[in-house]
């Protein structure tokens, strides 16, 4: 998958008021802004044109734009976030994506769907059922994907404590390779892929992000970095500490197509 565009949003001064179960303390806003700047720079160095939206203080979690939509090269699906406080985030994103895509679908009530629960592997999509994405929302997305000749598979993750979204635990690195949390490493859905399994203590680092020729890896996880490098991937480390405090990872910070 080759990306040319990305949408990101700067963290607001209300960022620390967002939803979090991490118990790692409050994020430092200035540090979060600096980390965001480094993130955007990494996307640009990989050849992406980045739209950086201004902060949206009404929505503390809005820096995590990935949850608002699912985007491909030729269509988009507006999500319906499972957290009530995040529903309003889709309004502006809908306007933006309608400008970029001629085909835009939308998840409707009673469905809920966070983009973080959707992992694309070439022409196939894994859709996680989680505390944020319900069966109805997953089924709606599967139907939209089918309309565009994509296949999909539903992967329930509610039983795994501490895994917020599917992509908190499973990410596609390219070359038929997944980076996975050990709790999902033996799941039947992933058996046909090469699996790089992070340690349970480094579970957060399963959320790496492949952007064209580079895999972005959260800093502070040397074992995961080595695992990805030994598998033959070029890497760039990025500090995501302030986003980890708010249950977010590297993939959460952008929409890419």
Active site residue ranges: 165, 252
* Structural contact between residues 183 and 170, judged by C-beta atoms closer than 8 angstroms: no
Q: How far apart are CA 185 and CA 187, in angstroms?
A: 6
Give the pair of three-digit tokens for residue 156: 């329930």
**Cα→Cα distances 142→32, 118, 246, Å:** 34, 11, 29
Residue whose C-alpha is closest to residue 147's, from 125, 165, 177, 130: 125
Q: Report the sign of the C-alpha dihedral through residues 138, 139, 142, 147, in that order.
A: negative
Q: From 30, 28, 91, 26, select the one nearest 65 (Cα to Cα).
A: 91
Q: Dihedral sign, CA of 236, 120, 63, 249?
A: negative
Question: Residue 244 to residues 31, 128, 236: CA-CA distances in angstroms?
Answer: 12, 20, 18
According to DSSP, the residues that pair with 118 across neighbouring strands are 127
Task: Work out whether the CA dihedral 11, 13, 14, 19 comes out positive or negative.
Answer: positive
The H-or-E segment that residue 147 falls in is helix 135-147
Q: How many CB atoms lie within 10 A of CB 95?
A: 9
């Amino acid at each position: 998958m080759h990306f040319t565009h990305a949408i990101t949003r700067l963290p607001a001064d209300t960022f620390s008021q967002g939803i979090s179960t991490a118990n790692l303390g409050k994020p430092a806003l200035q540090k979060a802004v600096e980390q965001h700047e480094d993130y955007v720079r990494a996307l640009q160095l990989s050849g992406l044109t980045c739209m950086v939206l201004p902060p949206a203080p009404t929505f503390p979690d809005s820096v995590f734009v990935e949850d608002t939509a699912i985007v491909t090269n030729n269509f988009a699906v507006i999500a319906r976030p499972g957290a009530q406080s995040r529903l309003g985030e889709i309004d502006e994103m809908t306007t933006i994506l309608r400008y970029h895509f001629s085909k835009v679908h939308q998840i409707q009530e009673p469905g809920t769907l966070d983009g973080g629960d959707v992992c694309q592997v070439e022409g196939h999509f894994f859709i996680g059922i989680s505390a944020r994405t319900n069966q109805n929302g997953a089924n709606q997305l599967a139907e939209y994907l089918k309309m565009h000749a994509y296949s999909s598979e539903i992967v329930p993750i509610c039983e795994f404590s501490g895994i917020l979204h599917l992509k908190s635990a499973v990410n596609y690195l390219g070359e038929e390779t997944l980076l996975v949390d050990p709790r999902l490493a033996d799941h039947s859905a992933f058996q046909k892929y090469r699996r790089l399994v992070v340690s349970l203590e480094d579970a957060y680092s399963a959320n790496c992000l492949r952007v064209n020729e580079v895999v972005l890896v959260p800093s502070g996880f040397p074992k995961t970095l080595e695992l990805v490098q030994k598998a033959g991937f070029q890497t760039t480390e990025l500090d995501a500490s302030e986003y980890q405090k708010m249950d977010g990872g590297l993939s959460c910070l952008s929409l890419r197509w």
